């Protein structure tokens, strides 16, 4: 589930929001004033995204290398 909150509303409950992102893998979009400016995600989700990006980049590099050899 992804929630959206204005920046001013995040200051007080920030620790609880961080725990919620970490434990429930929820994404929280922080808006300033009405435009998305940041997203809070769990460290585990960030690691998963970075791993997926590394795999995609490796596949792309492999394709490029293979095309050059042909």
Q: Are residues 13 and 19 in contact, defined by beta-carbon separation less than 8 angstroms?
A: no
Which two three-digit tokens encode residue 14? 């920030």
pLDDT in tens, 12-44: 788 888 888 999 988 989 898 889 999 999 999
CA dist 18 → 29, 43, 61 (Å): 12, 10, 35
Q: Is this model's pTM higher than 0.85 or not?
A: no
- Domain ranges in the chain are 2-69
pLDDT, position 67: 67
CATH topology of domain 2-69: YefM-like fold (3.40.1620)
């Amino acid at each position: 589930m992804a929630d959206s909150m204005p920046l001013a509303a995040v200051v007080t409950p920030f620790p609880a929001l961080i725990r919620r992102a970490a434990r429930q893998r929820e994404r929280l979009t922080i808006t300033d004033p009405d435009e998305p400016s940041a997203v809070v995600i769990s460290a585990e989700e960030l690691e998963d995204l970075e791993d997926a990006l590394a795999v995609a980049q490796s596949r792309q590099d492999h394709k490029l290398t293979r095309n050059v050899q042909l």
